[in-house]
Structure formats: structure tokens, C-alpha cells
Structure 1
Amino acid sequence: MMEFSFVNPTKIIFGQGQIATIQQEIPSSAKVMIIYGGGSIKQNGIYQQVVDALSEHQVVEFSGIEPNPSYETAMRAVAQIKEHNIDYLLAVGGGSVIDGTKFIAAAAKFDGKPWDILAKAAEVTDALPIGVVLTLPATGSESNSYSVVSKLDSNDKLPFFSEKVQPKFAVLDAQVTKTLPERQLANGIVDAFVHVMEQYLTFDHGAKVQDRFAEGLLHTLIEEGPRVFAEPDNMEVRENLMWSATMALNGLIGAGVPQDWSTHMLGHEITALYGLDHAQTLAIVLPRMMHAMRQQKEAKLLQYAERIWGISEQDNNIAIDLAIEKTVAFFHSVNMPTRFSDYQLGEEIVDAIVEQLERHGMVALGENQQVTLDISREVLKASL
């Protein structure tokens, strides 16, 4: 196991009816900006719960955070923050709203050009405090320090990390997911699944605790994912999915282990160029990445095959093929397509995506930097 330091200071407030507790979590003297997306929270009752909870606070609203949060929209929020002297941010939404809020929190305090946080990995030395009311379990952004933001005028989608934007608290009430469209539910399940895989499917590192935690999350997502569509009123299913998505990327299973993230890097470029949902890109890329890197990942692929899918085939190649097929079948079981052709995209996209990878320096990806541009091209062609 690798050396590591693990701290996760985000307070998780889990359970039905817990949105009301944000009143105690945000200082009464704070001037709060509520940040949300397209306004669905006003139709499903979440907005009113938040407003009621903050009835004794000074509140300003900012709406319009996109499914892939943009730098341009974030900077409009920053202007309002400075105009109204906002000193606390409350993200009400899924991963995109939370990611956008993290960048807004950093940009509002940044001395310089905020785009440098993303484009030049400029250090974030201060940020506004953030609270979260989670509406879509998927990214785990509610309890980590990562964010991904897009720049519309240049087709850039770039990540940043700073402990300064770690949310202070996150309310997880699975009841709010009952009004989500099936597409968003599927996105959340696939996103959480691939988050686990990017930290699990690397090479043997002797971290048995992290492996078993990761396998438990994979089993839960595989078992409960299809059930949320078959049993939409089953709150136990929804709660297990919500907690799995949070645990998938709160730092626990990634502590002391090598991590991959090549599938995510390709996925970011696909979204930036062609607008596919983040999880849609992951479901396309992951199976072909597993195939392309099967020799380098053979030991963990066989472990995955046996422990997750019960495959005990003595021929290693057959076992790995079956595990990949099972992975694809799982994505299909939660109504997630797995090829570019499902979105009417053809071979013309391959060169464009590879060019984007090269422009962003994504030329040696994966846990051992073995995913070259040639392998990325191979993966993309196999995904058509």
C-alpha cells in the first residue's frame, strides 16, 4: 500500500427531511447565495424547503448553472457575489451545480485571472465557504475537493483541485431523487460505477481494505441500479445509491492506491466537443479501455471478474472478455448506451478528440502513464 494522508472534513447530513437542518449549519450572520441549475428545484419542492430553512438569513439567488458548468456563467455569479458582498455559497443540485459553485467560490477570492485556476493550475489560497443540498447522486462532488469546468468559446473542459473548496456540509435526502428523470438516474449510477473502477482497476497494490470497500460499492450499484427503475418508490434502494455515489469519490477508496482516470480524460474531451452527458461518455469509453489495457491490468481484471461477476473461467482471456461483456450488460440494464453510434457519431470524431487530448497534454494517461495517444485512438475507434 502506498503512503497516504486521509482527511474528509465534510459533514454529511443523511436522511429524509434533513434539508431543514441547513439553518443550523450556516452562520446566522452570513449573506448566502443559493446557486442552482435550470429551475427544476422550484417544481419538485426542494427550492421551497431551502428557502424556508434560510428564512432568517439574508439570501441572494443565482440560477442557470449548466449540466457542464461553464466558466462564462460562473464569472457572472462572481460579479453578483462582489456586488452583493456574499460570504457563503449554497449549492442546490447535482455534480454540475456543485462543481460550478466550487469554481465560483475560488474565483471570487482569486487575485488574478480566474481562468488560470483551470488552465495553469494556479494555486487557490482562499475561497468562500460552501454548503450543499444534493439533488442528484452521481459525482461525489458534495464531499471532495475536485471540480471540472468548461470554457465555451474554446471547447475546453478542465479540472482543478483545492482543499479550500471542500464543502463544509452536504445534505443527502434520497427522497429528492424521486422526481429525477430516468436519464439523470442512469447518469448518476454509471458515473459512480466508473469512479470506483478508475480507483480499483489498476494493479495489485496490497491494499485489501480499499479493494473490498470498492467491491462492496460495485456490488451495491450493480444490484440497486436496475432496481431504482423497477421499484421507483423503494426509498431503501435510492438511499443506497445515494450513499454509494458519495462514498465512491470522497477519498476513502482512493487512499493509498494507484488511480487511473484515463477514461475520464477521454470523456471530458468528448463532452467538450460533442455535448454528450459525462456519464454517457464514460459508458462508451470504459469497456474499450478495459480491453485495450487488458495486459497491463490483467491481475485486477481477473480479480474483478471473479469477485464482482463470479467468473471462474480458467482461461484468463475468456474470463476478461466475459467481465467486459458483463460490464457492458450492466450499463444497458440501467438504460445507458455504450457506443458512439448510439448518438449518431461516426469515425470523423476520432481525429478531433485525439487532437484535443494532445492540445491539453493528455498524451500519457493512466496509473502508469501507458495510455498514449495511439492507445486513446484505438479505444475511440473501438467505441464507434
Structure 2
Amino acid sequence: MLNFELYNPVNLVFGKGQMEKLSKLIPADAKILLAYGGGSIFANSVHAQVTEALKGYDITEFGGIEPNPRYETLMKAVQLIREKKLDFILAVGGGSVIDGVKFISAAVNFEGDPIDILRKRIRIESNAMPFGTVLTLPATGSEMNSGAVISVESTQEKLTCGGPALFPKFSICDPATVASLPKRQVQNGVIDAFTHVMEQYLTYPHDAILQDRIAESILQTLIEIGPGVAENPADYKLASNFMWCCTMALNGLIQKGVPTDWATHMIGHELTALYGIDHARTLAIIAPSLYKVMFETKKEKLAQYGTRVWNISETDVDKAAKLAIAKTVEFFKTMGMPARVSEYTADYQNTADIIVNRFEERGWRAMGERGNITTDKVREIVEMSY
């Protein structure tokens, strides 16, 4: 097992009726920026619950944070906080809103141009504005980690930021909010969480036995509940297990002591930046192609995954690994995931060139758990995904 440090200070408040605890979680004299997305929190009564729980607080609202939150929008929130001298942020929404608030938290007191947080990947160690979250859309695990992905509209890029100062102070996670979600969003959430686990699990055999078993249990649970919760999001048993899987998939636990990949995400982010494809759907497009292109270095773990998660009985490693990929593709299709870039856009012919050029410019020439996903491999993966 690799050496590791595990730090996660988030106070996770999980279950029905937990919104009433907001006033105990936020300082009584806080001046709050209430940040949210497109307005679904008004339709599902979450906004009413939040404002009722925070009666008497000084609240300024900021709506319109996009899916794949845009730097340009977030900087408007930064300016608003500075003008009104606010001192706490409450993110109410899914991973995009929470990611956006993490960047806002980092940018408010940042000395220098906040774009450098993204372009220079500056780790935020201190001096971030405190924030909490009310999760309404399970998917990214952002409610219990310190990372964020931000879109820069002017250059059509998705860039990351993070650091120990960007953990939420608390996150309220009420699975009842899942009931109002559209089927597409639930499908996306299941596949997002599934692929998060795969990025940390599907590498090569190692000595971290417990991390593998935890990862496999999350995958098995998502396979078991995924189709059902997409069809019936009001089923509390399914919704609560779905929400907890999404959190556990990316709260840092299964990543500790193990090699990780993340190339699927790095490539997928570019498809979202270029074509606006839902994040989870880019992962479903890229992951099977990556497993095939990198088959020789991943086949042992693919075979383990096939045996333990899909109950494949084939003993030949190559055959078991190929069956595991096929089972994964089948599951993605069951969850409503189209498999090709061409199913989203007709203007895809130069996609590989664009992505490879961007990776070359950023110096991303040795990705993956072995550092062997070169830009040539990236080209092959993307072209296989057309």
C-alpha cells in the first residue's frame, strides 16, 4: 500500500429533515451569499426550506451558476461579495453549484488575478471564505471533497482548482431532494459516480486490499440501484443509497494508498468544453475506448473487476477483461448513455487534433497511473470514440 494522508473535515449531515439544522451550522451573525443554479430549487421547495431555516440572517442571493460553472459568472459573485462585505457562502444545488462556490471561496481573498488559480493550478491552503452546502443533485461528490472543475468560456476550457482550504464546513444531504430530479440528471449522476470509482480503481493490482473492496462495493451498489433510481427517484431507499454512493465515490477514502488514473476525466472535460456534452456522458464515451487502447496495462485489473463486480467466471485474463469492458458498455447503455461523440455533434472530425494540441500546450504528455497515456494514445482514444 502506498503512503498517504487522509484529511476530510466536512461535517456531513445526512437524511430527511436535516435542513432545519442550518441555523446551528452557520454563525448567527454571518452575512450570507446564497448561491444556486438555474432555479430548480424554487420548484422543489428547497429554496423555501433554506430561507425558512435561515430566518433572521442577512442573505444576498446569487442565481444562474451554470452546469459546468463558468469563470465569468463566478467572478460576478466574487464582486458581489466584495461590494456587500459578505462573509459566508451557502451553495444550494448539485456539483456544479458547489464547484462554483469553491472557486468563489478561493477567489474572494486571492491576491492577484483569480484566473491564475485555474491556469497555474494554485493550491488553496488558506484565506478562503468559509462555505457550506445543501446538496440537491448527487453525482460529483463535491459536497465532501476540496476539488472543483471550472469552465472558462472565453477559451472553451475546463480547468481545475483545489486545496485543503476548499472543503465545505458542512454539507446537508437529504435524499428526498432526489425525487424531483429529471431522469437524465439521475442517469448522469449514477454514471458520474461509477466512473469516479473506476478512475481510482481500474489501474493495476496492488496491495491496498480494503480500498479495492470498498471501491467494488460502491460499483456493485450503483449497478444494483442505478436503473431503479433513474425510473423511480422518489423511492427513498434507492435515493439514499444513490446519494451516499456518489459521496463515497469521491470523498478521498478509496483514493488513499492506491495508484489512480483520471485520464478519462481529462479527455472528457475537453468534450464538454468543446461541445457542451454533459460531463457524465463524456465519461461514458471515453472510458470504454480508454480501457481498450490501454488494454495491455489494465487487463489484470479489468479481469479482477469483471470477476468481483460482474461475476464473470472466465479464468483467462484477456477474455475476462474483454468481457468486463463489454459489461460496462452494456451498463452504460442501460443507464441511457450514448456511446459516441458523433451522437452529440456532427462537427467532430477535428476533435482529436484539438484535444491533443491542448494537452501538448499544457505539458500533459504522460497521464494515467503508469504515466503511459501519451498524446498519441489520447489521439487513439478520442478517434475510437467518434
TM-score range normalised by the length of the shorter chain: over 0.9
Residue identity matched to 1:71: Y
Structure 1 residues 212-231: aligned runs within 5 Å = 212-231=213-232
In structure 2, the residue matched to 1:19 is 19
CA distance in 2: counterparts of 1:82 and 1:40, whole angstroms: 27
8 Å CA contact 1:131–1:168 kept in 2: the answer is yes
Residue identity matched to 1:60: T
> 1:116-162 deviations in whole A, cap 9, x for unaligned?
11101234331001100001100000010101111111112111121
Task: Say if 2:88 is the partner of 1:94.
Answer: no
Structure 1 residues 1-384: aligned runs within 5 Å = 1-124=1-124, 125-345=126-346, 346-384=348-386
Residue identity matched to 1:58: D
CA distance in 2: counterparts of 1:177 and 1:230, whole angstroms: 12
Residue identity matched to 1:382: M
How far 1:356 moved relative to its partner?
2.2
CA distance in 1: counterparts of 2:337 and 2:54, whole angstroms: 38
How far 1:321 moved relative to its partner?
1.4
Quick one: percent identity of the two aligned structures? Answer: 50
Change (3 A) 1:222 1:39: same
CA distance in 1: counterparts of 2:132 and 2:232, whole angstroms: 31
Residue identity matched to 1:260: D
How far 1:33 moved relative to its partner?
0.6
CA distance in 2: counterparts of 1:162 and 1:212, whole angstroms: 27
The two structures, once aligned, show a CA RMSD in angstroms of: 1.1
SS, match of residue 153 in structure 1 = helix
CA distance in 1: counterparts of 2:116 and 2:149, whole angstroms: 13
CA distance in 2: counterparts of 1:56 and 1:90, whole angstroms: 15
SS, match of residue 364 in structure 1 = coil
Figure out how many residues of one structure are paired with residues of the other and give that number.
384
CA distance in 2: counterparts of 1:271 and 1:229, whole angstroms: 22
How far 1:86 moved relative to its partner?
0.7
> 1:215-258 deviations in whole A, cap 9, x for unaligned?
00000000000011343431100100000000000000001111
Structure 1 range deviating more: 351-360 or 25-34: 351-360
> 1:144-188 deviations in whole A, cap 9, x for unaligned?
010111111111211112111100100110111111111111111
SS, match of residue 19 in structure 2 = helix
CA distance in 2: counterparts of 1:344 and 1:112, whole angstroms: 38
SS, match of residue 171 in structure 1 = strand
CA distance in 2: counterparts of 1:317 and 1:74, whole angstroms: 47
Residue identity matched to 1:323: A
How far 1:292 moved relative to its partner?
1.0
Residue identity matched to 1:99: D
CA distance in 1: counterparts of 2:142 and 2:159, whole angstroms: 15
How far 1:28 moved relative to its partner?
0.3
8 Å CA contact 1:266–1:357 kept in 2: the answer is no
8 Å CA contact 1:269–1:356 kept in 2: the answer is no
CA distance in 2: counterparts of 1:283 and 1:99, whole angstroms: 21
SS, match of residue 280 in structure 1 = helix
CA distance in 1: counterparts of 2:272 and 2:257, whole angstroms: 30
Task: Give TM-score, length-normalised by structure 2.
Answer: 0.97
CA distance in 1: counterparts of 2:182 and 2:118, whole angstroms: 31
Residue identity matched to 1:118: L
> 1:6-55 deviations in whole A, cap 9, x for unaligned?
12110111111111111110000110110000111111100000000111
Task: Give TM-score, length-normalised by structure 1.
Answer: 0.98
CA distance in 2: counterparts of 1:151 and 1:246, whole angstroms: 26
Structure 1 range deviating more: 332-341 or 229-238: 229-238
CA distance in 1: counterparts of 2:54 and 2:361, whole angstroms: 45
CA distance in 2: counterparts of 1:173 and 1:123, whole angstroms: 30
8 Å CA contact 1:269–1:357 kept in 2: the answer is no
Moved over 6 A (4+): none
Residue identity matched to 2:168: P
CA distance in 2: counterparts of 1:76 and 1:34, whole angstroms: 14
SS, match of residue 104 in structure 1 = helix
SS, match of residue 135 in structure 1 = strand
SS, match of residue 172 in structure 2 = strand
8 Å CA contact 1:265–1:362 kept in 2: the answer is no
How far 1:344 moved relative to its partner?
3.2
SS, match of residue 220 in structure 1 = helix
CA distance in 2: counterparts of 1:344 and 1:113, whole angstroms: 35
CA distance in 2: counterparts of 1:69 and 1:30, whole angstroms: 25
Residue identity matched to 1:325: A
SS, match of residue 221 in structure 2 = helix
8 Å CA contact 1:36–1:97 kept in 2: the answer is yes
